[in-house]
Structure 1
Amino acid sequence: MAGTGYHSVFEKGLFNDQVILVTGGGTGIGRCIAHELASLGALVVIAARKMDQLENTAKEIRLLGGRCETMTLNIREPVQAQDLINTIVTKHGKLNGLVNNAGGQFHSPASKMSPKGFATVVDLNLMGTFYLCKAAFEGYMGEHGGSIVNIVAECRNGFPGMVHTGAARSGIINMTKTLAVEWGPYNGIRVNCVAPGMILSSGMKNYPEKVLDGFLDNSWLNPAGRMGTESEIASSVVFLLSPAASYITGINLPVDGASSLSKGDAKANTAQPSFNPAGSKMPPYIGWPQQEQGQDQGPVLKELDAPEPMMQLYAKYKSKAHKL
């Protein structure tokens, strides 16, 4: 099956003999992160509530020659977080990396959001991330070191339509900075964030059609002129977990085509650039195996499971992607 594995830009064997936990690793960005880490030699443990999705991803990784284990987890339960970390360390003797990717939210204006809805998303995203970080520290990293990457969302200019997740993700960013300072002296623990902008991902299936239309209408309103790919998030996570980031801790890395620095196509404001909706000048990075129909090269993966308009957009991106 040579040549069929995930096409990472990083050196093969980079994470040999390392054990890395990815929460929410059964679908979307988490699945892509798990694939890339496994392609680089890591034993990847993916954890989430839905075992069927986890098993599907683990099967894909194993068919491509990687190592992947699955475990159930509700990140809102601190005892489950502790038990998960203890199980991994007992079985494998270590936990070198943690990627806090699991989470969720729903679209709603703040004026129509209930207190319960707000609290639920904050509990899931902010508290769930804290539970995993604390469990990893107490169960292994406090004594042996390690690296943590928290997946948030680009929210430096607020998060209209999702005030609950904006508040939670901002809290995670601040928590990450605090943990980087407090835990750095404990055998060099590094804690960082990756903040995706608009990404073509299976997570898009969770939003109503009207919201998706808004995403598509504005997908080019940034200097990159496009949305991002799951691979572009995964590679950022891999970098922060790698020795190349040995002197990087406490940062929030936006992966958003600079959308957070721009205001889109402001025709009435000559101080702002007018972005071109006709197409991006920045080729995407897609790490999924490039296979042609009819070739006997091993398993063919379904790279993306998103609403049809976004699948069409992804096909265009793929035709312009960097060839690896």
Structure 2
Amino acid sequence: MKYDSVFKPGLFAGETHVVTGGGSGIGRCIAHELAALGAHVAIVGRKAEKLDAVAAEIEEDGGSVSRHVLDIREEDDVKRVVGEILAGTGGVHGLVNNAGGQFPSPLAGISAKGFETVVRTNLTGGFLVARELFNQHMNKRGGNIVNIIADMWEGMPGMGHSGAARAGMLNLTQTAAVEWAPAGVRVNAVAPGWVASSGLDTYTDPFVKSMIPRLKDSVPLKRLATEAEVSSAVCFLLSPGAAFITGDCIRVDGGAPCNSRMYPLQDHDRSKPYNGFHRYKAPASLVGDDG
């Protein structure tokens, strides 16, 4: 079996795309789809074993991939690894700033260190990777950048540090879209809502775990997104079909922010998910639930 993408075969043939956080979850899925569409994919992450596993999958499926261990929060390391990727590939056509992470906590319980760590992971690190790719390559050759943010439109109670960082990344996206347009660089964002991805299994707090199966109840489409549905939005923004789109954000959230809480949502099963990712496995937190 191979990735069943909705896009034409060979869409990214001859191109190189960088995916941060490519060792698991949504990033893993995006890397697989890009490779299935002909791209050489440079996957970046902090844990070599995760990158090795995804690289082996992509190679087994006939794709082209390289893996690069990097903590995107470390400026000197970002400069070095971006240089290595460029030296090894001759150029980069697209960047998917997917790496991120957070922990649940009310604002009153977040230390300065905890807050700063989440901001560095979800905002500063993405900025550093984008800046280096621009300064080292895209300022002369052009390219596309897609920043993965989150559904933070009405605040993010319980994860205020992440919400602040993601909102900052959206503003950074809009700013970069203007400043880097003369170089032929488009910069956009994708904001996933609740996704049935392995990231759900990183939350160990009993209360949070108990909430996960009920997340769909607040979504008008009455389900969670698949990883492939997020990847499709990313691939579209990287494609020539999005050539006149920059500084924008595609929400992949099932309409959750549109729910006013005053209008009763009706139960239904009319929204049928798309899942072209042949290696997808449901997170343990949703096993036994229809997701």
Instruction: Find the counterpart in structure 1 of residue 133 from structure 2.
Output: 136
Identity %: 44
Is residue 195 of structure 2 the alignment partner of residue 203 of structure 1?
no
| 1:306 alignment partner, one of 270, 276, 283 | 283
Instruction: Find the counterpart in structure 1 of residue 16 from structure 2.
Output: 19
Secondary structure in structure 2 of the residue aligned to 1:220: helix
Instruction: Find the counterpart in structure 1 of residue 95 from structure 2.
Output: 98
Instruction: Find the counterpart in structure 2 of residue 122 from structure 1.
Output: 119
| 1:159 alignment partner, one of 156, 159, 163 | 156
Q: String of CA shifts for 1:27-69, please: whole Å, max 9, x gaps.
A: 0000000000000000001010101000101111111111111
Q: 1:310 is matched by which residue type in structure 2?
A: L
With 78-87 and 136-145 compared, the bigger mean Cα shift is at 78-87
Q: What is the CA-CA distance between 1:280 and the residue it aligns to?
A: 2.8
Q: What is the CA-CA distance between 1:125 and the residue it aligns to?
A: 1.1
With the length of structure 2 as denominator, give the TM-score of the two structures: 0.97
Q: What is the CA-CA distance between 1:92 and the residue it aligns to?
A: 1.3
Secondary structure in structure 2 of the residue aligned to 1:26: coil
Instruction: Find the counterpart in structure 2 of residue 322 from structure 1.
Output: none
Instruction: Find the counterpart in structure 2 of residue 256 from structure 1.
Output: 253
Instruction: Find the counterpart in structure 2 of residue 293 from structure 1.
Output: none
With the length of structure 1 as denominator, give the TM-score of the two structures: 0.87
Instruction: Find the counterpart in structure 2 of residue 283 from structure 1.
Output: 272
Q: What is the CA-CA distance between 1:9 and the residue it aligns to?
A: 0.4
| Cα separation, 2, equivalents of 1:281 and 1:139 | 47
Larger Rg: 1
2:194·2:215 contact (CA, 8 Å) conserved in 1? no
Q: String of CA shifts for 1:218-255, please: whole Å, max 9, x gaps.
A: 31322211111101101110000000100000011110
| Cα separation, 2, equivalents of 1:46 and 1:90 | 15
1:28·1:304 contact (CA, 8 Å) conserved in 2? no
Secondary structure in structure 1 of the residue aligned to 2:217: coil
Q: What is the CA-CA distance between 1:305 and the residue it aligns to?
A: 5.4
Structure 2's unaligned 5+ residue stretches are none
| Cα separation, 1, equivalents of 2:24 and 2:282 | 9
1:1-324 alignment, distance < 5 Å = 4-186=1-183, 188-207=184-203, 208-263=205-260, 266=261, 269=262, 272=263, 274-277=264-267, 279-289=268-278, 301=279, 303-304=280-281, 306-307=283-284, 309-313=285-289, 316=290
| Cα separation, 1, equivalents of 2:53 and 2:287 | 20
Q: String of CA shifts for 1:288-313, please: whole Å, max 9, x gaps.
A: 23xxxxxxxxxxx4x22522x41333
Q: What is the CA-CA distance between 1:215 and the residue it aligns to?
A: 2.7
2:212·2:286 contact (CA, 8 Å) conserved in 1? no
Instruction: Find the counterpart in structure 2 of residue 294 from structure 1.
Output: none
| Cα separation, 2, equivalents of 1:255 and 1:231 | 11
Instruction: Find the counterpart in structure 2 of residue 298 from structure 1.
Output: none
Q: 2:96 is matched by which residue type in structure 1?
A: V
